[in-house]
Chains A and B, each alone.
Chain A
Amino acid sequence: MTKINKSVEDELIIARQELAFQKVEKGKRAAELGIANIELVFQDEEKEKRAAELIIANKEVVFQNKEKEKRAAELIIANKEVVFQNKEKEDRAAELIIANKELLFQNEEKEKRAAELIIANKELVFQNDEKEKRAAELIIANKELLFQNEEKEKRAAELSIANEELIFQNEEKEKRAAELIIANKELAFQNEEKEKRAAELIIANNELAFQNEEKEKRATELGIANIELAFQNEEKEKRASELSIANKELLAFTYISSHDLQEPLRKIQTFCSIILENENNKLSENGKYNFERMQLAAGRMQQLIDDLLAFSRINTTELIFEEADLKIIIEEIISDLKETIQDKDATVDASGLGSANIIPFQFRQLMYNLISNALKFSKPDLPSQIVIKSSIVNGRKIKNKKLSSDKEYCHITVKDNGIGFEPRFSERIFEVFQKLHSKEIYSGTGIGLAIVKKIVENHNGIIIATSELDKGATFDMYFPAN
């Protein structure tokens, strides 16, 4: 029995499982039914909406049909109207045909009139041409008349001016006549006065005659005095020309003598140099030394003669002033002294120079002497620096008795950094042949500064030398500026 029970139990289990499954299935079917019911309800609602819409649509169709019937009735009425209109049109057409025939006839009439008008127009054109010719002739005639009128008016104006002129002339004549009467009265009066004067003149003439005699006495005395003066002047001119000739002779003499004196000196030097060259190995040291001293002595004499000649020239040549650029003169001197400047490693600064009224040839000599002095007396171990400047100053500012305080002066300075000199020699250095060093140390003739001073005096100026030993020297020159 257990086996049957087990099979029944198994079948029960299976059945129960089947039931459970069925329940689940029912549940699912119930859920599906619920959903289907909901769907049905929705569908019903939709149907009811469609039914309502149909009812509205039907009402609309009914209304549309009623409208169609109204339109049909109207159409019938309109057709009856159209038929009536057509009858009217046919009546009008008949009338138009009659009117057209009438118009044709009118047109023929118009063309006849038009032809007649053309002929008439040609006639008018011809008439107008004729009128224009007449009009042109009239214009020419009018211009001619205008011209004639203008000429008449010109003639009339000229005549009126001529008349005015005549009237004016007549007035002038009457004025002249009146003036003549006055003048005649005046003349009569004058004549009376003249006769009075004539009597007075006779008395005056007698007086003059006496005066003239006195004058003639004076004149003869003056004549004698003039002859005396003329003679004095001739004497002066003779003296002046004698002086000028003497100056020229002196200059020529100086030149020639300096020349003739130079020539033997040159020979002495040249022969010395030949001997020293050619007989060098034959001479003793003493002998060579003696010949060299001879050369130097001759050379010094040459230099002395040159300087004396320059000094005499300063006094005897004509003094011709001109306005000159001083920088250019200094540049020429620098060029001449090129070698010495290089040897002394010197610099010459003339940038502060302007122009001045000077005697060019003498001024050049002056600056040459000052600059070559500055180079000569430079310190051996210090490159020479020479500064040259110029400026215009008023005499009042320079406290110097020799310069007038109401004149303008050109102030030129030459300053160097050489060995200088003691202040007590500041005037002696300008004297002829005055030297401060022996010729062994510094060569020179002692004339250079004397020449400088003479040239400054020729320019009506003054020169002042300022210095201290070892502190360089400054030369201040003042020339009248005009």
Chain B
Amino acid sequence: MLLKQMNILLADDDTDDCMFFKEALKDLFLPTEFTAVHDGEQLMQLLTNEDTVLPHVLFLDLNMPRKNGFECLSEIKLNARLNGIPVIIFSTSFENETVNQLHKSGAFYYIRKPSQFSQFKSLIQQSLEFIAQALTDQPSRDNFVLKAINN
């Protein structure tokens, strides 16, 4: 049950990763409206602005200048208007304790940025499909980390 158009918001300071994401969306031929911000403060300013149309999903990098992903996640979850947005962590690192902490803080999925572009695409598609199924409950810790198929 895909929505007519998905508004996707990406918060990542790395220009290359933003480019990869945009290219991946293009190649997936999904009806999406894509916006990117490059630091945490910019993200929170955008989200808390009453005029902003809220995204259907937020892909959030952890290491950003000014305000990092952890702080943004907790602020979003505390905000009644924002805490319904599913947040997918999109990060280079993979520390078990960090992943557990992020699951406890309410993120929906965790994706470790892959090194193959094809994996990039399949992970984004997989996560968008899950979100589009409009599951409102946070997945369990076992289903939290999305894994790419190795080719």
Please list the residues of chain A having a beta carbon within 8 angstroms of any beta carbon in chain B.
Answer: 259, 262-263, 265-267, 269-271, 273-274, 277, 298-299, 302, 339
Q: Is the CB of A259 within 8 A of B116?
A: no
Q: Chain B interface: which size bin?
A: 10 to 19
Please indicate which of the listed interface residues B93, B115, B116, B120 has the most CB atoms of chain A within 10 Å of its own CB: B115
The interface residues of chain B lying within 8 Å CB-to-CB of A302 are 115
| Interface membership of chain B positions 80-122, coded 1 if the CB is closer than 8 angstroms to chain A and 0 otherwise | 0000000000001100000000000000000001111110100
Q: Is the CB of B92 within 8 A of A259?
A: yes
Q: Is the CB of A274 within 8 A of B23?
A: yes
**How far does the Cβ of A402 sit from chain B's closest Cβ, in whole Å?**
34
Q: Is the CB of A267 within 8 A of B16?
A: yes
**How far does the Cβ of A289 sit from chain B's closest Cβ, in whole Å?**
17
Q: Can you name 5 A-B pairs with beta carbons within 8 Å?
A: A263-B92, A266-B114, A269-B115, A270-B20, A274-B23
Confirm or deny: B52 has a beta carbon within 8 angstroms of a beta carbon on chain A. Answer: no
Q: Is the CB of A270 within 8 A of B116?
A: yes
Task: Knowing A259-B92, A263-B92 are in contact, say whether A270-B150 is a contact too (CB < 8 A).
Answer: no
Option from A262, A273, A339 in Cβ contact (under 8 Å) with B116: A273
Please indicate which of the listed interface residues A266, A269, A302, A339 has the most CB atoms of chain B within 10 Å of its own CB: A266
Task: Knowing A259-B92, A263-B92 are in contact, say whether A270-B115 is a contact too (CB < 8 A).
Answer: yes
**Docked pose: A263 CA to B92 CA in angstroms:** 7
| Chain A residue nearest to B16 in the complex (CB) | A267
The interface residues of chain A lying within 8 Å CB-to-CB of B23 are 274
Task: Knowing A266-B113, A267-B16, A339-B150 are in contact, say whether A277-B92 is a contact too (CB < 8 A).
Answer: no
Q: Is the CB of A259 within 8 A of B93?
A: yes
Q: Is the CB of B115 within 8 A of A266?
A: yes
**Docked pose: A66 CA to B92 CA in angstroms:** 163
Task: Knowing A259-B93, A262-B92, A266-B92 are in contact, say whether A277-B115 is a contact too (CB < 8 A).
Answer: no
The interface residues of chain A lying within 8 Å CB-to-CB of B93 are 259
The interface residues of chain A lying within 8 Å CB-to-CB of B150 are 339
Please indicate which of the listed interface residues A265, A267, A269, A270 has the most CB atoms of chain B within 10 Å of its own CB: A270
**Docked pose: A362 CA to B150 CA in angstroms:** 27
Option from A262, A274, A298 in Cβ contact (under 8 Å) with B117: A274
Q: Is the CB of A273 within 8 A of B117?
A: yes
The interface residues of chain A lying within 8 Å CB-to-CB of B14 are 263
| Chain B residue nearest to A267 in the complex (CB) | B16
| Chain A residue nearest to B20 in the complex (CB) | A270
Please list the residues of chain B having a beta carbon within 8 angstroms of any beta carbon in chain A.
Answer: 14, 16, 20, 23, 92-93, 113-118, 120, 150
**Docked pose: A270 CA to B15 CA in angstroms:** 13
**Docked pose: A262 CA to B91 CA in angstroms:** 12
**How far does the Cβ of B123 sit from chain A's closest Cβ, in whole Å?**
12
Known: A267-B16, A270-B120. 19 other contacts (CB 8 A): A259-B93, A263-B14, A263-B92, A269-B115, A270-B16, A270-B20, A270-B114, A270-B115, A270-B116, A273-B115, A273-B116, A273-B117, A274-B20, A274-B117, A277-B117, A298-B115, A299-B115, A302-B115, A339-B150
**Docked pose: A271 CA to B20 CA in angstroms:** 9
The interface residues of chain B lying within 8 Å CB-to-CB of A299 are 115
**How far does the Cβ of A339 sit from chain B's closest Cβ, in whole Å?**
7
**How far does the Cβ of A274 sit from chain B's closest Cβ, in whole Å?**
5
**How far does the Cβ of A267 sit from chain B's closest Cβ, in whole Å?**
5
The interface residues of chain B lying within 8 Å CB-to-CB of A263 are 14, 92
**How far does the Cβ of B45 sit from chain A's closest Cβ, in whole Å?**
26
**How far does the Cβ of B9 sit from chain A's closest Cβ, in whole Å?**
22
**Docked pose: A267 CA to B115 CA in angstroms:** 7
The interface residues of chain B lying within 8 Å CB-to-CB of A273 are 115-118
The interface residues of chain A lying within 8 Å CB-to-CB of B120 are 270
| Chain A residue nearest to B147 in the complex (CB) | A339
**Docked pose: A262 CA to B113 CA in angstroms:** 11
**Docked pose: A374 CA to B150 CA in angstroms:** 21
Q: For the complex of A and B, list the 10 residue pairs with the smallest distance between their C-beta atoms, beginning with the closest.
A: A269-B115, A273-B117, A273-B116, A274-B117, A266-B115, A267-B16, A270-B117, A263-B92, A270-B115, A270-B20
**Docked pose: A299 CA to B14 CA in angstroms:** 20
**Docked pose: A113 CA to B120 CA in angstroms:** 141
**Docked pose: A347 CA to B113 CA in angstroms:** 31
Please indicate which of the listed interface residues B16, B117, B118 has the most CB atoms of chain A within 10 Å of its own CB: B117
**Docked pose: A376 CA to B6 CA in angstroms:** 43
| Chain B residue nearest to A273 in the complex (CB) | B117
The interface residues of chain A lying within 8 Å CB-to-CB of B117 are 270, 273-274, 277
The interface residues of chain A lying within 8 Å CB-to-CB of B118 are 273, 277
The interface residues of chain B lying within 8 Å CB-to-CB of A271 are 16
**Docked pose: A269 CA to B14 CA in angstroms:** 16
**Docked pose: A263 CA to B91 CA in angstroms:** 11
**Docked pose: A269 CA to B20 CA in angstroms:** 12
**Docked pose: A274 CA to B120 CA in angstroms:** 10
**Docked pose: A266 CA to B92 CA in angstroms:** 9
**Docked pose: A269 CA to B116 CA in angstroms:** 6
**How far does the Cβ of B30 sit from chain A's closest Cβ, in whole Å?**
18
**How far does the Cβ of B96 sit from chain A's closest Cβ, in whole Å?**
9
**Docked pose: A265 CA to B116 CA in angstroms:** 11
| Chain B residue nearest to A361 in the complex (CB) | B96
| Chain B residue nearest to A298 in the complex (CB) | B115
**Docked pose: A172 CA to B20 CA in angstroms:** 110
The interface residues of chain A lying within 8 Å CB-to-CB of B115 are 265-266, 269-270, 273, 298-299, 302
**How far does the Cβ of B35 sit from chain A's closest Cβ, in whole Å?**
22
The interface residues of chain A lying within 8 Å CB-to-CB of B113 are 266
**Docked pose: A266 CA to B14 CA in angstroms:** 12
**Docked pose: A243 CA to B106 CA in angstroms:** 38
| Chain A residue nearest to B150 in the complex (CB) | A339
| Chain A residue nearest to B23 in the complex (CB) | A274
The interface residues of chain B lying within 8 Å CB-to-CB of A267 are 16
